[in-house]
Amino acid sequence: MGYTGTMLGLLFASTLGALSQQASAPPPPPDVTVLHARIDECSADFTVKDAEGKPVYGALIHVRVRFGFLGIKRSDLEVGTSSAGKARIDGLPRRARPLLYDITLADSKAEAEQDVEKTCHAKFEVTLK
């Protein structure tokens, strides 16, 4: 009886080990990189392409958010684009000064502007030049 109990214990332990390895395996990369600012409910979606119209991986999107009374609260946010050239910033403030996004990769640059009071959920298609 001791032998059977030991075998069952080993089988159970190896099954748990295999399941934990599967559960801890990294998920496949998403087609959109998401940054959660957690300030409010607005958002900005970006699709970044090169001059040939191909998606750009790793372009850096930066914005300084100024919100609150007299714009005293500030937050610098940065997110990189996915392999599909896409990125999203969630949780932007509903009331803030207009947001100016700087999109860069090496020597290529572009800009986009969002007035969150007029357009809470913005979508941008940007071409780096």
pLDDT, tens digit, 9 for 90 and up, residues 35-90? 999 999 999 999 999 999 999 999 999 999 988 777 678 889 999 999 999 999 99
Nearest-angstrom CA–CA distance, 36 and 3: 53
For tokens 């998401």, name the residue: 34
Is 60 buried (19+), middle (13-18) or exposed (0-12) by CB count in 10 A?
A: middle
Domain boundaries, the chain: 33-127
Please compute the mean of the pLDDT values over residues 19-31 and round it to a whole number. Answer: 56
pLDDT value at residue 106: 92
pLDDT value at residue 28: 56
Half-sphere exposure of 63 (CA within 13 A, CB side): 28
Higher-pLDDT residue of 15, 123: 123
Name the pTM for this structure. 0.75
For tokens 């403030």, name the residue: 93
Half-sphere exposure of 56 (CA within 13 A, CB side): 25
Q: Is the pLDDT of residue 18 over 90?
A: no
What CATH fold (topology level) applies to the domain 33-127?
A: Immunoglobulin-like (2.60.40)
Nearest-angstrom CA–CA distance, 82 and 35: 12
